[in-house]
Amino acid sequence: MRLRRASLPRLITAVLSTVLLAAGLTACAAAARPAAATSPARAAATGTASAAATSTASASVLGNRVGPGWILAEYTSARSGGGGSGPVELYLISPAGAKYQLARWPNFLTAPVLVAWSPDGQQALFRDSPGRGIELLTLATGHVSTFALPGGVSPIGFIPPGGLAIVASSGDSLAQYNLSGALARQLGNSTGGALYTPSGLEFVTGARDGLNLVGNLGTLISQLAIPDSRINSCTPVRWWSSGTVLASCEPPGNGVTQLWLVPVGGARPEALTPLRTGLRDLGDLDAWQLSSGLYLQSAGPCGVLQIFKQAASGSISLVTVPYTMGDNHVLSALGSRLLIEAPTGCMASNSLLWFDPANGAGQWLFRVPGSAIGITAAVPFYSRENGNL
């Protein structure tokens, strides 16, 4: 996504769906209410429809300062363990941790679910939890427009550079829709997501023998074969550099995914991670090159997500994030830090923090007690470090 995590492999999609479902069926005693410099306006939803409002300070921030390192996050104070419903609040969070409440809905069971953030930082895309409804929120004004997508069609995210259309999937097919929900064009078949170039003129998607580079009219530009990968197993994760895609593929006869660097110009792909035995690392899903080393998002036992540091030899060491339950979902990176969503209680409470793996320092954005659900969705600002471009 960014097109919002549509670029992760099917394995991680399944894992995250399980985690989010668990969070939706449990709940959390709220983290301390974030303080903002102003008192944001609020508007409550009626039934399953939503309404939202922003503060003047938030509108000013959105217009002038939002960029890499900023986050949109939905937070609920509903209690975990099925203990009842609670409101959902939408926050804009700065890299330094300042929070601006943008919207509020009275019941997390019927509130829309955050899907994506537009490349210009001005709009957010939500999916109505009860059905096929889509909501488009203009963050600076609180204006909400709604439309519906056909049955079986799931929104992935906005198309860059201006976010004037969205891409959605239905089974293995991709399509582009305008912001009123009308079908603009079919984009062809895909085995894994749609990773757009910054211009929005092309996208990379999964294909039978690796990846395909496709024009935004759905025309095949080039096939990017990835050696030693199982048929229909490759997924573009994000842009590693301006001309190279990070992809996750399964080797033949081995379901433990491996990461590849794939030049879209046609040069031979290079393996970023070696073949694993699956004893510790059950599949490499994403990676970030920080000043302190190469860090991997990997699948772990029992459906959890783990962070490993990979040495030059390809060997790995587990990175432990203090005060979390060991299920660490990396959303993005900024400078020397990783943005992590992780449960901090045994009842699937979800917290959000920046973490520096070099020195173990953390900055809590939401530290949620085990009695509350906490973060139900978090989307970093559109950047290469979280698969947006």
Question: Is residue 31 scored above 50 in pLDDT?
Answer: no
CA dist 66 and 89 (Å) reads 19
Run of H or E residues at 355: strand 350-356
Which residues contact residue 339 at a Cβ distance below 8 angstroms, ignoring those fewer than 6 apart?
Answer: 71, 330, 331, 332, 333, 352, 353, 354, 355, 378, 380, 386
User: For 35, which DSSP code?
Assistant: P
Mean pLDDT over 73-90 rounds to 85
pLDDT tens digits, 108-129: 888 999 999 999 999 999 998 7
253 phi and psi angles, rounded to 5 deg: 70, 15
Nearest to 37 by CA among 56, 53, 62, 65: 56
Run of H or E residues at 22: helix 10-25
Nearest to 387 by CA among 58, 134, 14, 68: 68
The verdict on whether omega for the bond into residue 161 sits within 30 degrees of 0, i.e. cis, is yes
Task: Report the pLDDT value the prediction gives residue 83, as an integer from 0 to 100.
Answer: 61
pLDDT band at 254 (very low <50, low <70, confident <90, very high): confident
Structure tokens at 281: 């690392």
Mean pLDDT over 31-40 rounds to 30
Mean pLDDT over 212-218 rounds to 95
Residues β-bridged to residue 93: 71, 99
User: For 302, which DSSP code?
Assistant: G
pLDDT band at 280 (very low <50, low <70, confident <90, very high): confident
Question: Is residue 331 scored above 90 in pLDDT?
Answer: yes
Which residues contact residue 382 at a Cβ distance below 8 angstroms, ignoring those fewer than 6 apart?
Answer: 2, 117, 118, 119, 121, 160, 388, 389
| Secondary structure class of 291 (helix, strand, coil) | coil
Least confident of 311-315, 350-354, 369-373: 369-373
Share of the chain above pLDDT 70, in %: 81
- Output the CATH code of domain 10-386: 2.120.10.30
β-pairing, 316-319 vs 305-310, is antiparallel
